[in-house]
Amino acid sequence: MSGLFRANYTKVKVVFGLTDSLLICVAFLIAYLLRYWFNSEKVFHFVFYIDAPVFVLLMLVSLLSFLALGYWFNVYEKLDSAHPSVVIRDTFRQCLLGAVSLVLAEYLLRLDLSRFFVACFAVSSWILLCLFRINAARLIGAVRKRFGTTHSVVIVGSNERARRLGEALDRSAKYGIHLAGFVEDLEQLPALLRRHVVDEVIFAVDSEKLSGMENAFLLCDEEGVRTRVAVDFFPHVNSQMYLDRFGTTPLLTFGAAPHDEVRLLIKRFTDVLLSAAALVLLSPAMVLVGCLIRLTSPGPAIFRQTRCGLNGRGFTFYKFRSMCDNAEELKASIVHMNQKSTAFKIPNDPRLTPLGRLLRKFSIDEWPQLWNVLKGDMSLVGPRPAVPQEVETYETWHRRRLRMRPGLTCLWALAGRDHLDFETWMKLDLEYIDNWSLDLDWNIILRTIPRVISGKGAF
C-alpha cells in the first residue's frame, strides 16, 4: 500500500477488514431476506428458512472465510492503489471461494440451503465490496478530513532522495499527512520545532552525514517529536528492510527472502496436510511402482542422494530409481553429453531404464519426495533442490535461490521443465522468491497437475 507509514497502514487494514465484515453481513442478510420474500411470492417450490442459531453460525463461517481469503489474496494491501479491474478481479475470486466455503459448511452441517440464496449472497457481496473498494481511498480520505487530525511532517535534507520522499508525502495528503517543509540548515530546526506544530521529522540525508546529527536526534527526542531515518542508502539492494531487536540492541534487517511468519506457517501447514493426504492416497500405487522397479532392473527401488535445502542445509533426498544401479559411476563417462551449463541434464540419458523413462515422463519418480515435504526438508512449491557439487559452481546471484525451502514444483517446471537453459531456471526461481505469496503457490500447484499428467517438457 503506497504512501502510508506502517502505523497508518495497519490502521487502514483494520478499517478495510471491519468494513468488509459489515458489508459481508449486510450481503448475507440481503440474500436471506430476498430468498425469504420469494417464499410468500411462491416463486420456488419449497419454503426456505434458517433457524436463528444456524443463521448466526453460517454468517460467522462466511465472515471468517471472506476475511481469510482477503488476507490470502493480499487484497487489503493494495486497495488504495490497485486499478479498478484488479479490485474487481480479486473481489470476484474472494466472493466465489467464499460462496464455496458456505456450500462446504452446508455439506458438513448437513443442511439444505437454497442455491438461489448462495448465489444471491455471492453476487450481493461482490457488488457491495467492489463499490466500497473502488472508492476506498476517497472514502477514507473524506473520513480523515472530517474527523481526523492532520499529521505534520518535516524533512531534513535537500538532496534528490529528500525531494522524492517529499513528493510521496504530498501524494499521501488524502490520508491526513501534511508536508510542512524541508530543513537544510540544522540550526533552523530548534526554532521550527518551537514555533510550528511538527509531529514527525524525517532525516533523508546521505549516510556519511548521519554520524554528525546526534544533537539533532537528541533535540527531537527532548521535544518528544518522533523521528525517522530514510535508509535507502543501497539503491541496488532489492531486499526488504525492517527494524528488529535483539535484547536491547536495535537491528536494521535486510531480508532477501520472504519473512512473513504467519504466511510461511500457513504454507508449512498446507505442505503437511497435502503431502500426508497424497502419501495415503498414493501408497498402493507407490508399493506397486516399487515392486515393478525391483522386478525390471537390479538395485533398490528408492534412490537416495544428498541435496541442498533451506539456506544450503544438506538433507537426504528420495526418488524412485529411474536409472541403472551404477548410474553415479557411469556419470563421468557421459559428462560430454550434458546440455546444461551448471546442472547435469542429458536428453535420452542412456542410464535410464525402460520403466524409468516412463516414471520420468510423468514425474512418478518424484512421488517419494512427498516424504521430504512431510518431514520439512522440502515444500510443495519452491526452487528444485540442487546437489552440493552444483551449488559449489554457482555464481553469487544464483545462491539466493537457496534462501527458500526447495520444492516439488516451481515456475520453471511450468515454463518448459528440462528444456529451459540453466540461467532461465535461476531467473524464474528468483522471480518466484521475489513475488512469493500463498496465492502464487496454489496457482503453480494447479497449473502443474495438467502439465505432469500430459508429460510435457521432461527429458
For residue 35, give Cα distances in angstroms to 38, 48, 57, 65, 233: 5, 7, 18, 22, 60
- What is residue 453's predicted lDDT score, i.e. its pLDDT? 81
* Model pLDDT for residues 49-69, shown as the tens digit of each residue: 788 888 999 999 999 999 888
Confidence (pLDDT) at 3: 47
Contact 414, 448 (CB under 8 A): yes
Closest CA to 11 of 76, 86, 91, 94: 76
Residue 82 has pLDDT above 70, yes or no: no
Contacts of 238 (CB under 8 A, 6+ apart): 256, 434
Gap between the Cα atoms of 4 and 177, Å rounded:
9
% pLDDT > 90, the chain = 33
Q: Does the pLDDT at position 1 exceed 50?
A: no
The closest of 416, 158, 404 to 268, measured between CA atoms, is 404
DSSP 3-state of 4: coil
Looking at residue 169, its pLDDT comes to 85
pLDDT per position as a tens digit, 222-270:
888 888 888 776 655 566 777 777 777 877 777 778 887 888 998 999 9
Q: Is 249 left (phi over 0), alpha (psi -120 to 50) or beta?
A: beta
pLDDT at 286 over 80: yes
Dihedral sign, CA of 417, 423, 426, 431? Answer: negative
Rounded mean pLDDT, 114-128: 92
Rounded Cα gap, residues 335 and 107, in angstroms: 57
Highest mean pLDDT among 238-247, 321-330, 333-342: 321-330
DSSP readout, 147-211?
HS--EEEEEE--SHHHHHHHHHHHHTGGGTEEEEEEE-SGGGHHHHHHHS--SEEEE---HHHHG
Give the H/E segment covering residue 252: strand 249-255
**Where does CATH 3.40.50.720 sit in the chain?**
149-235
User: Tens digits of per-residue pLDDT, 177-221?
Assistant: 888 889 988 888 888 888 888 889 999 888 778 778 888 888 988
Question: How confident is the model at residue 342, as a pLDDT?
Answer: 64
Query: Is 149-235 in CATH node 2.60.120.370?
Result: no
**Which range, 41-45, 373-377, 397-401, 410-414, has the best average confidence (pLDDT)?**
373-377
**Residue (of 408, 418, 393) closest to 441 by Cα position:** 408
Tell if the pTM clears 0.85, that is, is over it: no
Of 2-6, 29-33, 425-429, the range with the lowest mean pLDDT is 2-6
Separation between Cα atoms, residue 308 and residue 393, nearest integer Å: 13
**Is the model's pLDDT at 80 over the cut of 80?**
no
Element holding 228 (H helix, E strand): strand 226-229
Looking at 26-35, 189-198, 246-255, 318-327, which range is the least confident one?
Answer: 246-255
**Between these two residues, 77 and 370, which has the higher pLDDT value?**
370
2 pLDDT above the threshold of 50: no
pLDDT band at 150; cut points 50, 70, 90: confident
